[in-house]
Amino acid sequence: MQQLCSFSLEELKAWMEANGEKSFRAGQLFEWVYVKRASSFDAMTNLSVPLREKLRTHFSYPSIKQLRVLESEDKETLKFLWELPDQKRVESVLILSGDRRTVCVSSQVGCPARCAFCASGREGLMRNLSAAEIVEQVVHINLHLAPLGERVSHIVFMGMGEPLENYEAVVKSIQLLHAPEGLNISQRRITVSTVGVVEQIHRLAKEELKVNLVLSLHAPNQHIRKKIIPYARKYPIEEVLLAMDAYFEETKRDITFEYTLLAGINDYRTHAEELAMLLKDKQCTVNLIPYNPVDGLNLRRPEKEKIEEFRAILEERNINTTWRYTKGKDIAAACGQLALQRVPPQ
């Protein structure tokens, strides 16, 4: 059985015609899923009962199931736990900030990157998500927002997984989420984060997309980066930065470098100075992320004064910086805290 939310409108039109249905039915189906926020085929009342039965026979919708929603104490972050068709589980996060409704989606079960400070990759990669399993995280959260008269406005591929190691499904999901007949989310409101998969960064630059690209840098030099990010052993920092430069030149989208501050590892004054030199003359922003605690990891967040000093050094050298305010830490929904959830034993 095929997953409905992996199909574009044109692909659904082709399916309708191949199965003896009028092609305009595809537009109605697309509208039910993405605009009218139908939760099942039964809700699609302007489709005939025989057609709905035919769709139910050929397509799964929904293909993921909501198991749990946790809300942070400040009510600005919600963490969703989903069960996939094979009973594996992933998490995604809804962040409420002003008028923004940002969904942080997962693209893999687990993560191959195994960054030292992140919970998502502690057990490695289980499998890639399909385009539908990515898209449905947004579709179902959009349904969650419906009673409030709100909708998802921004999407960040910063949940579980390395998005560029699930390249085809991620690109297909971006196209589906952007589709004007559907959620119609501007590509400029979609952000993809990567640890630096060089060949896929170059590939993404040629896709004629206008999504934002964020590099998980986390170190001012190759020596420290290899200690924090195992992928750095395959992709030297110089090659990664050249790929990011190429992405900027091709898309004209500003680049963001994320830098998780780890006490005693990458937060010294000399590290800030080295980072400023590394990024000199680049049109970019450095997003400073104080480390969010993960059970079992012997790492610490720097003191506030240390973070302020680090940021001041960058800004003195004309490096644009932001300091990410930690949201959802009390429900383990902050950056680096999404973890593999297993099915409890029977």
- Return the active site residues: 91, 335
| Integer angstrom CA distances of residue 21 from 50, 81, 280, 322 | 11, 36, 58, 52
Angle, helices 167-178 vs 131-145, to 10°: value is 40
Site of tokens 């952000």: 191
Best CA proximity match to 263, nearest among 116, 119, 120, 138: 116
Say how far apart CA 15 and CA 23 lie, in whole Å.
8
Total Cβ atoms within 10 A of residue 174: 24
Determine if residue 332 is left, alpha or beta; phi over 0 gives left, psi from -120 to 50 gives alpha, anything else beta: left
**3-state SS class at 285:** strand
HSE on the CB side for 28, CA within 13 Å? 16
Say how far apart CA 56 and CA 40 lie, in whole Å.
9
Cβ neighbors of 3 (< 8 A, separation 6 or more) are 59, 60, 61, 63, 130, 131, 132, 133
Best CA proximity match to 169, nearest among 216, 133, 120, 121: 133
Q: Which two tokens stand for residue 199?
A: 């060949």
Q: What share of the chain is helix, strand, coil (3-state, %, to 5)?
A: 40, 20, 40
Q: Which two tokens stand for residue 47?
A: 């489709």
